[in-house]
Amino acid sequence: MSTGRINRTRGIALAAITTTAVAAGVLFIQGAADADQKPTLAQAKAQVADLQEKAEVAGEAANALRGKISAQEAKVKALQAGIAKQQVQVDAVKRQIGSLAVAGYQTSGMSTTAQLLLSTNPDQFLSQASTAQAFAGQQNSALRKFQDAQGKLTDLQSGEQSELAALQAVKAQQEDLKKQLQANLDAAEKVLGKLSAADRARIAQENADEAQKARDQRPSRDKGRMDDDLPNVPVSGRASVAVQVALDQLGDSYSWGAAGPSRFDCSGLTMYAWGKAGVSLSHSSAAQFGEGRRVSRANLMPGDLVFFGTSSIHHVGMYIGNGKMVHAPNPSKPVQVNDVDYMSGYAGAVRPG
């Protein structure tokens, strides 16, 4: 092949490579631009809502571990009390062994035969020897007591270490869930950060207006009735107290792990309201699902707790009648009243108390 043809071939190949590289570069730049493209206001709201729902799922999963942590801490505390008590017994047996050792020290260096031969009163010595044999039996008994007491102490200490390890594992699991929660909230903030200042201000104003509207719906204390926009369904007893307390929190802020008096997560609100009615509930929607009598949706009454979640329970609200519930939806919304169908994945209801 001639030198000219070789050069022309190389030139064509180089041009093809260059064209491909340029095209790839354009695609890369375009892809990067698309990835960094600002979402519309509607897209941002949808993304934020999705991320905040994921944050709530992680938060309620972390709440569900509160009971396990409390139970595990109770086990550790009981074992530590048992260890302290057993240590007292071990120390008492040690002192007994020490006293026996001192008492027997004088005759410990001489054999019984030698002591008999050297004794000026053999009859008296033989009597003392019988006492010494009994004394040796006491020593053996004390040693057995010590071994038994020390063995029990060692078992308790081993159990404590196992339960402490289990406690740390549950706490670590909860910390991981808290990190997931915060990561989703941070991601939501980044989405909002891509919006223009005007759009961010608009969302902030909408949130403020929503909170004010909820506060305006609080039951009128001077007239003893609910806002006209809310269902006025007859209810009595402890359920009446729980409903009243829950509605008194309308407009309060959402905060994970909070249970009042002015900030709540979903299970914190229902726990707080029913607590004021004298009924103790766990700070976990999953746990609350098992803390009452199951009722069908057709038989819901004010005060009943309604639960949501597809694969697992992650949200709870309080039914107030006419298909509505009061609940703490998510970090961007206040405690408010919505239709029960506002949340997807209806899972069932229970009647506390």
Which are the catalytic amino acids?
266, 315, 327
Which of the 8 DSSP states describes residue 226? -
CA proximity to 81, closest of 163, 4, 148, 21: 163
Give the C-alpha distances (Å, rounded to integers) separating 176 from 67, 73, 181, 184: 17, 19, 9, 13
Interstrand relation of 253-254 and 263-264 (parallel, antiparallel or unpaired)? parallel
Crossing angle between the packed helical segments 41-103 and 266-276, to the nearest 10 degrees: 70
> Distance between CA 296 and CA 305 in Å, rounded?
11
Report the sign of the C-alpha dihedral through residues 220, 226, 229, 230, in that order: positive
DSSP 340: G
Neighbours of 37 (CB within 10 A): 10
Q: Which of 239, 262, 258 minimizes the C-alpha distance to 250? A: 262
Q: How many CB atoms lie within 10 A of CB 127?
A: 11
Name the nearest CA neighbour of 66 among 257, 326, 218.
257
Give CA separation, 182 vs 177, 187, 191, 258, 260, in Å. 9, 8, 14, 15, 21
Q: Hey, what amino acid is at 14?
A: L
CB atoms under 10 Å from CB of 3, counted, come to: 7
Residue for token pair 């009971």: 67
Rounded CA-CA distance 154/132 in Å is 33
Phi, psi of 329 (to 5 degrees): -65, -60
Question: Residues 262, 334: contact at Cβ < 8 Å?
Answer: no
